Every structure is written in structure tokens, then in C-alpha cells.
Amino acid sequence: MEILTQVFLVIISAVLGHYLSDILSLIRFLSKKGSFHHLHGEWFEYRFSSRKDEATFHESKAQFHTKGLRTGSITITPLSKGNPSYKGRLYFKRGHNSTKAKKLHIECKCTSTQETFTVIIDNVIQNQDGLMYGLEIGVDCDNRTHASICLYSKKKLKRDEATKLINFRMFTKVVATLRI
């Protein structure tokens, strides 16, 4: 009987040892499911806003700080002089249809003016090298409501490339709407 117990323990140990890395991978996957840990870190943000009725291109460095599974903060620092910095929060919010994927909401406030904006991103990427497009709605420094496309990239883009990507997503064929 003692030999059978030892053989059984050896077999169990061998099976567990063989599948241990798969078990650990499954635990990691399940613990991160529904989170946005992959957003944590440095991103580059590109968007247009208006100042005195003229389009202004913003190129900024965005630092995502994740807190737990579904909330976090963001700091946006301009890469060129003359553009303001922003601080805000980010969180996931489920759409009106509970079967739809969650949307990432980014709410920011300018550190030097009353300018505020919210970005809603439908397709939050799952890799480190992709792009994320969001719809930005806010009040600019002239106290006027505006809407535009916001682009986030893990790698720095040239202005022409960022502008081309934003303009590609800018307008749909639906009259009087702005969708990405």
C-alpha cells in the first residue's frame, strides 16, 4: 500500500510539474481579464482643437497610471511650446447594452485654464504597439464646445503621419455626424 501511495504522489507531482507554467499563465490571464493594465505607461497623444477659430494641432506625451483593474489617472504634457498640460482620470464604463464591450473614458482638465475634455475610446487595444482612436468632446480655452478625433500611439509619430491617421478617421458618410 505504501508503494502505491508513493507511485501516486510521483505521478501527481510529474503532472503538476509538467502543467505548472500553463496553470500560472491561466491564473495571470484570469487576474488581468477586464483590466487595462496594458495601457499603463507612456503614450503619445495627437489631436486638433481650436484657438480663436483656427485649428491647433496638439502633440503630447500621455502617461497612463493604472490603479487596480478598472480605474487610473492620466497626465498629458505637451511636446511643443504654447500648448497646455492636462491631468485627469480614466475608467472603464459599460455601454447601454450590457453585452457590448466596455469603453475607456478619459476625463481631463487643463492645469492652467478652464479647458476640459472627455475622450471615449471604443476599441481599447490589447498589444503594446497599436493605435487607439477616441472621440474627444470638450470645452476649449475660448469657452466653446468642440469635438474631434484623438489618437493615442505607443510610438512617436511624425506630424504628417498623425494628421493623416486622424483625417482618415475623421468623417463618415452619415450626414451631420462625427464618428470614428
Phi, psi for residue 18 in degrees, rounded to 5: -65, -40
- Ranges under pLDDT 70 in the chain: 1, 25-37, 68-69, 95-101, 125-129, 169-180
- Dump the DSSP string for 124-164: --SSSS-EEEEEEEEE-TTS-EEEEEEEEESS---HHHHHH
Three-class SS state of 38: helix
Contacts of 110 by beta carbon, 8 Å cutoff, 6+ apart: 84, 85, 86, 116, 141
Which residue's entry shows cell 450590457?
Answer: 98
Position 11 scores a pLDDT of 85
Answer for the pair 59, 79: CB distance below 8 angstroms, yes or no: yes
Fold of 37-170: Lipocalin (2.40.128)
Position 2 scores a pLDDT of 84
Domain boundaries, the chain: 1-33, 37-170
Position 104 scores a pLDDT of 87
For β-strands 54-67 and 145-153, DSSP reports them as: unpaired
- Rounded to two decimals, what is the model's pTM? 0.70
Position 126 scores a pLDDT of 56
